[in-house]
A and B are shown apart, each in its own frame.
Chain A
Amino acid sequence: MTALVQSAQAGDREAFGEIYRQFSGRVFGLCKKLLGTAAAAEDATGEVFVRTQQALDRYDPARPFDRWLLSIAGHHCLNLLRRRSLERRLFAENADAESLAPTTATDSPLGVLSSSEQRQQVRDAVSALPNKLRLPLVLRYDAELSYDEIAAALGISRDHVATLLVRAKQALRHTLAGSAEVT
Chain B
Amino acid sequence: MSCLDEITLTGYADGEMADDDRAAVEHHLRGCTSCRDLLAALQRENSSLAQALQESPVAEVVRLPLPARLAVPARSDVREFGWGLAAAAALALAVGGNALERAISGRIDLAQSVATTVVLRSLIDGGFAVAQGGTAMLSSVQFAVIAIVVGLLFVAALRRVWQRRLLGSSLLVALAGALLLLPTAAQAIEERDGDVVTIAADEVVAGPIVLTGGEITVAGTVDSDVIAIGRRVVVSGTVRGNLFAAGKTVDVTGMVGGSQHIAAQSMSLGGEVAGNVYAAGQEVALRQGLRANRDAVTAGETITVDGSVGNDLTVFGNTATVTGQIGRDLDFHGDALRVNPGARVGRNVMAEVAAGDKFRVDDKAAVAGTRDFKVRIDDVEHDDDRPFVTLGFYSGLLLRLIAALVVALLLFVLAPALIAARPASGQPVLKQLGVGFLFLVATPVAAIILAITVIGLPLALASGVAYAIALYLAGIEVALAIGQLLVRDARRSFGPWALAALLGLLIVLIARALPIVGGVVTLLVLCWGLGLLYGQLSALYRAARLPAQPPSPA
Give residues of chain B (46-96) contacting chain A, Cβ–Cβ below 8 Å.
46, 48-57, 60-61, 63-64, 66-67, 69-76
What per-residue 1/0 map shows which CB atoms of A75-116 lie under 8 Å from chain B?
100011001000000000000000000001111101111000
Q: Which residues of B contact A145 (CB under 8 A)?
A: 553
Query: Do residues A13 and B424 form an inter-chain contact, with CB atoms below 8 A?
Result: no
B72 adjacent to A20 (CB under 8 Å): yes
Closest to B162 in A: A11
Instruction: Say what secondary structure dominates the interface of chain A.
Output: helix
Of the candidates B50, B69, B164, the one whose C-beta lies within 8 Å of that of A141 is B50
A-B contacts, 5 of them at CB < 8 A, read A29-B57, A118-B52, A141-B50, A146-B16, A153-B550
Interchain CB contact (< 8 A) of A29 among B60, B426, B542: B60
- Interface residues as binary, A36-66 with B (CB distance below 8 Å gives 1, 0 otherwise): 0011101101110111011100111001000
CB contact between B41 and one of A11, A59, A107, A126 (< 8 Å): that residue: A107
The smallest beta-carbon distance between A110 and chain B, in angstroms, is 4
Chain A, residue nearest B34 (CB) = A106
Q: Are A105 and B50 neighbours in the complex by a CB distance under 8 Å?
A: no
Contact A111 B56 (CB under 8 A): no
- Given the interface pairs A20-B66, A108-B41, the reply to whether A71 lies near B60 with Cβ below 8 Å is no
Binds A, one of B7-15, B352-360, B464-472: B7-15
Residues of B within 8 A of A (CB): 6-7, 10-11, 14, 16, 37-38, 41-42, 44-46, 48-57, 60-61, 63-64, 66-67, 69-76, 163-165, 417, 420, 422, 424-427, 491, 542-543, 546, 548-554
Q: Are B57 and A147 in contact (CB under 8 A)?
A: no
| B543 and A63 form a contact (CB under 8 A) | no
Report the nearest A residue to B75, measured CB to CB. Answer: A13
Query: Is the CB–CB distance between A112 and B44 below 8 Å?
Result: yes
Whether the Cβ atoms of A112 and B7 lie closer than 8 Å is no
A11 & B164 in contact (Cβ 8 Å cutoff): yes
- Are the CB atoms of A120 and B67 closer together than 8 Å? no
Q: Is the CB of B11 within 8 A of A162?
A: yes
- Residues of B near A126 (CB, < 8 A) are 53
Contact in complex: B49, A122 (CB < 8 Å)? yes
A-side residues, CB < 8 A to B, are 10-11, 13-14, 16-17, 20-21, 24-26, 28-29, 32-33, 38-40, 42-43, 45-47, 49-51, 53-55, 58-60, 63, 68, 71-72, 74-75, 79-80, 83, 104-108, 110-113, 118-120, 122-123, 126, 137-138, 140-142, 144-149, 152-153, 162-163, 165-166, 169, 172
From the candidates B45, B52, B69, B72, name the one contacting A169 in the complex (CB within 8 A): B45
B32 to chain A: closest CB distance in Å?
13
Is B549 a contact partner of A68 (Cβ separation < 8 A)? yes
Question: Are A165 and B10 within 8 A (Cβ)?
Answer: yes
Tell me which residues across on chain A come within 8 A of B49, comparing CB atoms.
110, 122, 137, 141, 169, 172
Given A11-B165, A25-B60: A112 and B48 interface contact (C-beta under 8 Å) = yes
**A140 & B14 in contact (Cβ 8 Å cutoff):** yes
CB distance from B492 to the nearest CB of A (A): 9
Are A166's CB and B6's CB within 8 A? yes
Closest A residue to B161 using CB positions: A11
B55 touches A63 (CB 8 A): no
Does the CB pair B71–A141 fall under 8 Å? no
Asked whether A43 lies within 8 Å of B422 as measured between CB atoms, the reply is yes
